[in-house]
């Protein structure tokens, strides 16, 4: 079942009702962007567009919703009838998923009759904000791991199960090698990873017996969880079982607690002494990009990191300062003046050049050597092309990351890029401000 059009705030329905009643069907353009980045982010990774397009494609009010609006919320019949006919038949420009973006850059711009463009605000903001939050956090883990595998372990502690699916999806865009989440792997075609828990070890009379049993069941992919009782004893027990059963393929040990740097070094030494150079060391337990970075820089002999809670909720920055602002109405550029939250008017484009990004107007000329980030993704309510695959998003991210200046990739205290503003946009902002001030005049 497609997501309900009632996944919106009451005030959106109020406004839409008011617009529809008086036949205000003028086109509005809303721009969705992140005002400022959290101090711990050097860049963002655009994500969440795909569920937004699916929502817009199927947007309508089924009978059940209309009944609720009329019977419970007491919207008048003429308004309910108007809601019944609403579809999204507008235009969407957006930054494709996987691209690296910066503060103030529109991720999505939607143009449609104002009632519909207003109604879809909460859904679009929710999805773009959350997916981008997690993609950006996960990207830092991949950078910190510096070529080592990173695996999504977040399912058990994300903010709901849909969130877990999102974490698996967007972390795969930025280069996670696999996920522990089987449903996500099935739905999205991801690689899945996992071994055993402490409870498995405990359910056998001895650790050796547990290891032996597991290895017999999964001889082609055994990773021994070695820290249930004593980590280095556990490593020795694993070695004993590996030798006893003559195992050789895809072997690993996992350490899930304690001083991971020190334990991984000691474990590597014990494994190497036994000639088991091919046994990989996998670590997990409360990791985030800061800790992964620390371990990698310390030279710890770790082959793969499992990251869960802190990445799955983006613990240091669990949301972004995103906004969805009216920038044009009935062909007139619009801007909000109040307080610190003023916005800039007009339909926009981001021009990426060799020396950084410029936010300008959508219809101004492309500066030399620059590339536009926003592309048309829907016209007349229909997609302009086929669904973009996760593979496409991965390629875009990979290419953008290659070109991203090093100071923005730094894990601790990264630089942030402040996009320039084009002359044309500055001029329009100046004009729109005068216009808005006029309308704000005391009656």
Site for a second copy in 206-225 (CB under 8 A): 206-208, 213-214, 217-218
Rounded to the nearest 10 degrees, the angle between the axes of helix 390-403 and helix 161-173 is 60
| Using rule CB under 8 A, residue 2 touches a second copy | no
3-state SS, residue 434: helix
The whole-angstrom separation of Cα 112 and Cα 41 is 33
| Using rule CB under 8 A, residue 182 touches a second copy | yes
Tally the C-alpha atoms within 13 A of residue 127's C-alpha that lie toward its C-beta. 22
Identity of the residue, 103 or 134, whose beta carbon is nearer to a second copy in the bound complex: 134
Least Å distance, CB 160 to a second copy, is 4
| Using rule CB under 8 A, residue 203 touches a second copy | yes
Closest C-alpha among 10, 220, 217, 40 to residue 139: 40
Identity of the residue, 426 or 437, whose beta carbon is nearer to a second copy in the bound complex: 437
Binders in 307-336 for a second copy, by CB under 8 A: 309-310, 312-315, 318-319, 322, 324-326, 329, 334, 336
Least Å distance, CB 125 to a second copy, is 4
Identity of the residue, 303 or 364, whose beta carbon is nearer to a second copy in the bound complex: 303
Binders in 22-51 for a second copy, by CB under 8 A: 22, 24, 26, 28, 30
| Using rule CB under 8 A, residue 430 touches a second copy | no
- Window contacting a second copy (CB under 8 A); options: 15-23, 102-110, 274-282, 373-381: 15-23
Binders in 381-420 for a second copy, by CB under 8 A: none
Least Å distance, CB 24 to a second copy, is 7
Q: Which residue has the tokens 């003429």?
A: 78
Cβ burial 227-239 (10 Å sphere, 16+ → b, else e): bbeebbebbbbbb
Per-residue contact track with a second copy, 229 to 268, x per CB under 8 A?
xxx-x--xx--x----------------xx----------
Q: Which listed residue (227, 288, 357, 400) binds a second copy by CB under 8 A? A: 227
- Window contacting a second copy (CB under 8 A); options: 90-98, 113-121, 293-301, 356-364: 113-121
Q: Which listed residue (35, 54, 73, 301) binds a second copy by CB under 8 A? A: 73
| Using rule CB under 8 A, residue 7 touches a second copy | yes
Least Å distance, CB 20 to a second copy, is 10
Q: Which listed residue (129, 132, 264, 422) binds a second copy by CB under 8 A? A: 129
3-state SS, residue 149: strand
Helices (H), 220-343: 231-245, 260-273, 289-297, 309-312
Positive/negative CA dihedral, 372, 377, 379, 384:
positive
Q: Which listed residue (2, 62, 161, 371) binds a second copy by CB under 8 A? A: 161
> Kindly report the CA angle at 109 between 34 and 188, in degrees rounded to 5?
80
Identity of the residue, 46 or 166, whose beta carbon is nearer to a second copy in the bound complex: 166
Strand partners, 351: 358, 372
Instruction: Write out the two tokens for 285.
Output: 């337990």
Q: Which residue has the tokens 């055993």?
A: 196
Query: How many C-beta neighbours within 10 Å does residue 248 have?
Result: 12
- Window contacting a second copy (CB under 8 A); options: 82-90, 181-189, 274-282, 403-411: 181-189
| Using rule CB under 8 A, residue 112 touches a second copy | no
3-state SS, residue 15: helix
The whole-angstrom separation of Cα 290 and Cα 281 is 19
Q: How many residues bind a second copy (CB under 8 A)?
A: 112
Instruction: Write out the two tokens for 87.
Output: 């579809």
Q: 214: Cβ–Cβ under 8 A, 6 or more apart, which residues?
A: 195, 196, 200, 222, 224
Binders in 131-150 for a second copy, by CB under 8 A: 133-134
Q: Which listed residue (111, 181, 344, 358) binds a second copy by CB under 8 A? A: 181
Strands 382-383 and 375-379: antiparallel
Q: Which listed residue (35, 87, 148, 157) binds a second copy by CB under 8 A? A: 157
3-state SS, residue 348: strand
Identity of the residue, 224 or 351, whose beta carbon is nearer to a second copy in the bound complex: 224
Q: Which listed residue (23, 85, 147, 205) binds a second copy by CB under 8 A? A: 205
Closest C-alpha among 171, 94, 89, 162 to residue 128: 94
Identity of the residue, 252 or 419, whose beta carbon is nearer to a second copy in the bound complex: 252
Positive/negative CA dihedral, 125, 127, 133, 135:
negative
Identity of the residue, 120 or 296, whose beta carbon is nearer to a second copy in the bound complex: 120
DSSP code at position 155? G
| Using rule CB under 8 A, residue 274 touches a second copy | no
Rounded to the nearest 10 degrees, the angle between the axes of helix 231-245 and helix 260-273 is 30
Q: Which listed residue (40, 66, 194, 290) binds a second copy by CB under 8 A? A: 194
């Amino acid at each position: 079942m497609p997501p309900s059009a009632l996944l919106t705030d009451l005030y959106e329905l109020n406004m839409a009702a008011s617009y529809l009643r008086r036949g205000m069907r003028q086109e509005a353009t809303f721009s969705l962007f992140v005002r400022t980045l959290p101090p711990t982010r050097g860049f963002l990774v655009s994500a969440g567009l795909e569920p937004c397009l699916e929502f817009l494609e199927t947007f309508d009010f089924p009978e059940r919703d209309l009944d609720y609006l009329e019977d419970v919320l007491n919207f008048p019949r003429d308004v309910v009838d108007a809601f019944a006919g609403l579809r999204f038949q507008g235009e969407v420009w957006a930054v494709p998923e996987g691209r690296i973006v910066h503060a103030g850059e529109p991720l999505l711009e939607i143009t449609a009759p104002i009632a519909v463009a207003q109604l879809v605000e909460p859904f679009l903001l929710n999805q773009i904000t959350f997916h981008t939050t997690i993609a950006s956090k996960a990207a830092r883990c991949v950078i910190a791991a510096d070529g080592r595998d990173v695996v999504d372990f977040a399912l058990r502690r994300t903010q709901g199960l849909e969130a877990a699916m999102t974490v698996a999806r967007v972390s795969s865009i930025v280069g996670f090698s696999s996920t522990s989440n089987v449903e996500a792997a099935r739905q999205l075609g991801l690689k899945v990873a996992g071994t055993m828990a402490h409870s498995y070890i405990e359910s056998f009379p001895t650790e050796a017996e547990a290891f032996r049993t597991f290895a017999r069941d999964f001889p082609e992919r055994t990773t021994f969880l070695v820290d249930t009782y004593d980590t280095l004893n556990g490593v020795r027990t694993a070695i004993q079982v590996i030798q006893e059963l003559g195992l050789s393929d895809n072997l690993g040990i996992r350490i899930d607690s304690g001083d991971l740097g020190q334990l991984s070094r000691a474990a590597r030494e014990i494994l190497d002494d036994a000639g088991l150079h091919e046994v990989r060391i996998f670590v997990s337990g409360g990791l985030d990009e800061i800790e992964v970075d620390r371990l990698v820089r310390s030279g710890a002999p770790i082959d793969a990191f499992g990251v869960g809670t802190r990445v799955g909720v983006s613990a240091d920055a669990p949301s972004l300062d995103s906004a969805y602002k009216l920038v044009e109405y009935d062909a007139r550029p619009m801007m909000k003046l109040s307080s610190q939250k003023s916005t800039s008017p007009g339909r926009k484009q981001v021009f990426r050049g060799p020396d950084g990004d410029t936010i300008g107007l959508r219809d101004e000329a492309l500066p030399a050597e620059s590339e536009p980030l926003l592309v048309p993704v829907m016209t007349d309510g229909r997609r302009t092309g086929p669904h973009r695959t996760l593979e496409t998003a991965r390629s875009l991210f990979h290419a953008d990351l290659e070109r991203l200046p090093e100071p923005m990739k730094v894990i601790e205290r990264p630089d942030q890029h402040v996009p320039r503003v084009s002359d044309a946009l500055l001029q329009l902002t100046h004009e729109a401000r005068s216009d808005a001030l006029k309308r704000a005049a005391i009656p």
